[in-house]
Structures are given as C-alpha cells and as structure tokens.
A and B are shown apart, each in its own frame.
Chain A
Amino acid sequence: SQTIHQWPATLVQPVGSPLSLECTVEGTSNPNLYWYRQAAGRGLQLLFYSVGIGQISSEVPQNLSASRPQDRQFILSSKKLLLSDSGFYLCAWRGAVNTEAFFGQGTRLTVV
C-alpha cells in the first residue's frame, strides 16, 4: 500500500534562518506531488506541484522554493525565513491520471 511521510511534525525557527521540509512517498511510482500551506482557520493554498523529477511548478510568488531530487521525494526550502512563513505545511500525492490525492500529517512551522 502507499504511504506518505512528512517531517518534522513541528518546527520553531528564527527569522532569517533556512528551512528544509521533506516529504517522501512509498508504494507508488511517478506520483504528482504537492506542497500546500494552511494558515490558521483558512483553506489550503497550493504552493508547488511536481509531475516528475526536477519538474516544479510554482503557484504563487513567495519566499519558498521546492525541489524533487528523486521520484518520490519532495522538498520545500527557504534560504531566509520570514515571520509570514509561519503556518501548517502539507505535502500530498496522487497517482496516475484520475486518482484521488492523499496527504501527509503536516508540519507546523512557527517563525519567531
């Protein structure tokens, strides 16, 4: 069966520090991968999605970047965090065309 791992679960980082959040998927090949951010009490904002290794599409201009160094690995990064980067970050995957999407358990990031 397929599983998705996302870590860490919580993170407190100072302003100006770098960020690296990792997401890995098991049990599937060539998934579509997604990074979302959810502000408190808000819906999910799509940040990045990827259809393959090295293929990243960005939805909104921001202080973050994403990379996909391996088929089932998706990384969210920042060189210098801002206070506004605080939020709940969620990774998701979906398989071949016409399948539903599944989420990891999220990383709660607080920038102080």
Chain B
Amino acid sequence: QKEVEQDPGPLSVPEGAIVSLNCTYSNSAFQYFMWYRQYSRKGPELLMYTYSSGNKEDGRFTAQVDKSSKYISLFIRDSQPSDSATYLCAMTVGVLGVQGAQKLVFGQGTRLTINP
C-alpha cells in the first residue's frame, strides 16, 4: 500500500465549477500537508500549506485536513481554464534519528482540465 493515495484522474469539469481533489494517507506520523500545482514541463508550484485539522482558505482555494480520517482535500471555487494542471498532494514526516530532517512524500497527482 502506498503511503499517500491520490486519484490520478483525469478530471474534466466546465469553467466555473467547484473542483474537489482528494488524498488519503496511511502514516499517522505525517505532520504537514501541502498542495502543489504543476503545469506541463514545469516544476511544481506550492499552492497551499497547512499542518492542523480544519480548513485553510486562500482566494479561490480551500485546503481541508482531517487527521482523524487521514484525508486531505483541495477545493477550487469558480474554476478557470488557467487552473488546468496536475495537482499534487504532499506530506512531510520526520526522519528518525536525524534532527530537523523531514521527508516529503507525494501523491500520484491528479490531472485537471477546466473546459471553457
């Protein structure tokens, strides 16, 4: 079983729709949760970052974490064609015996297309 599971899609929705992207994880030691957006042939770009259960909002984006269910979500409101990209969830876990070290583990990424 992978540590982080993410539906690879592809996901295609009309412009203006609300998009829900999700990841589940198995390691309860994961501490920090991030969502990245990656355009084709580019490096991932950080969208949202959170460490506690609950919601965090930034413009049209809302990140939701439920640590009891080991489930995180990213919601995109009023989706735009420019939101078309691959979205990756990522989580950090400390490395035993190495102070300050954190491993970043990624989901597979969900390919999203917003149709005008």
Q: Which residues of A contact B (CB under 8 A)?
A: 6, 32, 34, 36, 41-44, 46, 49, 51, 57, 88, 90, 92, 94, 96-98, 100-106, 108
> Closest residue of chain A to B32, judged by CB?
A98
Q: Which residues of B contact A (CB under 8 A)?
A: 6, 8, 31-32, 34, 36, 41-46, 49, 51, 88, 90, 92, 95, 98, 100-109, 111
Q: Determine the distance from Cα of A53 to Cα of B100 in the docked complex, in whole angstroms.
A: 14
Starting from the known contacts A90-B43, A102-B46, A105-B43, 4 additional A-B residue pairs (CB-CB under 8 Å) come to A44-B106, A96-B100, A98-B51, A105-B42
Task: Answer whether A34 and B32 are a contact pair too, CB < 8 Å, given A43-B88, A101-B90, A103-B45.
Answer: no
Q: Determine the distance from Cα of A57 to Cα of B98 in the docked complex, in whole angstroms.
A: 11
Return the contact of A92 from the options B32, B51, B104, B111 (Cβ within 8 A).
B104
* Interchain residue pairs A-B with the least CB separation, the first 3: A43-B108, A103-B43, A44-B106
CB distance from A104 to the nearest CB of B (A): 5
Q: Determine the distance from Cα of A46 to Cα of B88 in the docked complex, in whole angstroms.
A: 14
Across-interface contacts of A98 in B (CB, < 8 A): 31-32, 51
Interchain CB contact under 8 A, A100 and B32: yes
Task: Answer whether A32 and B106 are a contact pair too, CB < 8 Å, given A43-B88, A100-B32, A101-B46.
Answer: no
Q: Determine the distance from Cα of A42 to Cα of B111 in the docked complex, in whole angstroms.
A: 10
Return the contact of A51 from the options B6, B42, B101, B107 (Cβ within 8 A).
B101
